[in-house]
Amino acid sequence: MSPQDTPQPPALARAVLDRAAELRHEPGLLERLRSEPGTRVLAVHGDRAPLRAGRLHLVAADEIVGAVHWALLARADDGHAVLLAATGARDEPPVELTDEAAQWSSLRAVGGDLDAEEAGLLVEAVALARWLVDAPFCPACGGRLVPRAAGWSRSCPDCGREHFPRTDPAVIVVVTDPAGGRLLLGRNALWGERVLYSAFAGFVEAGESLESALVREVAEEAGVAVSRLDYRGSQSWPYPRSLMLGFTAVAAEPGQARADGEEIIDVRWFTRDELRAALDGAGDVELPGGASIAHALIRDWVSGQVR
Ligand SMILES: [Zn+2]
Q: Report the pLDDT averaged over residues 153-170.
A: 97
Q: How confident is the model at residue 2 (pLDDT cuts 50, 70, 90)?
A: very low
CA of 25 to the centre of ligand 1 (A): 21
CA of 139 to the centre of ligand 1 (A): 7
CA of 129 to the centre of ligand 1 (A): 21
Instruction: State whether 28 and 124 are in the same domain.
Output: yes
CA of 148 to the centre of ligand 1 (A): 14
Q: Report the pLDDT averaged over residues 102-109.
A: 97
Instruction: State whether 190 and 227 are in the same domain.
Output: yes
Q: In the chain, how many domains are there?
A: 3
Q: Please give the share of the chain, as a percent, with pLDDT higher than 90.
A: 93
CA atoms within 13 A on the CB side of 217: 25
Supply the pLDDT for residue 307. Answer: 63
CA of 241 to the centre of ligand 1 (A): 22
Instruction: State whether 27 and 103 are in the same domain.
Output: yes
Instruction: State whether 125 and 151 are in the same domain.
Output: no
242 pLDDT higher than 80: yes
CA of 152 to the centre of ligand 1 (A): 17
CA of 255 to the centre of ligand 1 (A): 53
Q: Report the pLDDT averaged over residues 281-286.
A: 90
Instruction: State whether 7 and 128 are in the same domain.
Output: yes
Supply the pLDDT for residue 5. Answer: 55
Distances (CA, A) of 20 to 122, 174, 250: 16, 36, 41
Contacts of residue 48, Cβ cutoff 8 Å, sequence gap at least 6: 89, 104, 105, 106, 107
Burial pattern 186-215, b for ≥16 Cβ within 10 A else e, equals bbbeeeeeeebbbbbbbebeeeeeeeebbb
CA of 254 to the centre of ligand 1 (A): 51
* Average pLDDT of the residues of the chain: 95
Instruction: State whether 281 and 185 are in the same domain.
Output: yes
115 pLDDT higher than 80: yes
Q: Is the alpha carbon torsion for 281, 284, 285, 286 positive or negative?
A: positive
Instruction: State whether 41 and 96 are in the same domain.
Output: yes
CA of 145 to the centre of ligand 1 (A): 8
CA of 94 to the centre of ligand 1 (A): 28
Q: Report the pLDDT averaged over residues 290-306.
A: 93
CA of 207 to the centre of ligand 1 (A): 25
Domain assignment of residue 153, yes or no: yes
Q: Report the pLDDT averaged over residues 182-201.
A: 95
Q: Please give the share of the chain, as a percent, with pLDDT higher than 70.
A: 98
Domain assignment of residue 47, yes or no: yes
pTM: 0.94
Q: What is the DSSP string of the chain?
A: --GGGSPPPPGGGS------GGGTTSTTHHHHHHTSTT-EEEEEETTEEEEETTEE--B-GGG--SS-EEEEEEE-TTS-EEEEEEE-TTS--SS---STTEEEEEHHHHTTTS-HHHHHHHHHHHHHHHHHHH--B-TTT-PBPEEEGGGTEEE-TTT--EE----EEEEEEEEE-TTSSEEEEEEEGGGTT--B-B-EEEEPPTT--HHHHHHHHHHHHH---EEEEEEEEEEEETTTTEEEEEEEEEES-GGG----SSSEEEEEEEEHHHHHHHHTT-SS-B---TTSHHHHHHHHHHTTS--
Contacts of residue 175, Cβ cutoff 8 Å, sequence gap at least 6: 183, 184, 200, 218, 222, 224, 226, 248, 249, 250, 251, 257
Q: How confident is the model at residue 280 (pLDDT cuts 50, 70, 90)?
A: very high
Range of the domain at 17: 3-134
Instruction: State whether 120 and 31 are in the same domain.
Output: yes
CA of 163 to the centre of ligand 1 (A): 9
Contacts of residue 130, Cβ cutoff 8 Å, sequence gap at least 6: 47, 238, 240, 241
Supply the pLDDT for residue 233. Answer: 96
305 pLDDT higher than 90: no
CA of 146 to the centre of ligand 1 (A): 10
CA of 246 to the centre of ligand 1 (A): 35
Instruction: State whether 130 and 9 are in the same domain.
Output: yes
How confident is the model over 121-141, as pLDDT tens digits? 999 999 999 999 999 999 999
CA of 277 to the centre of ligand 1 (A): 54
Q: How confident is the model at residue 180 (pLDDT cuts 50, 70, 90)?
A: very high
CA of 153 to the centre of ligand 1 (A): 13
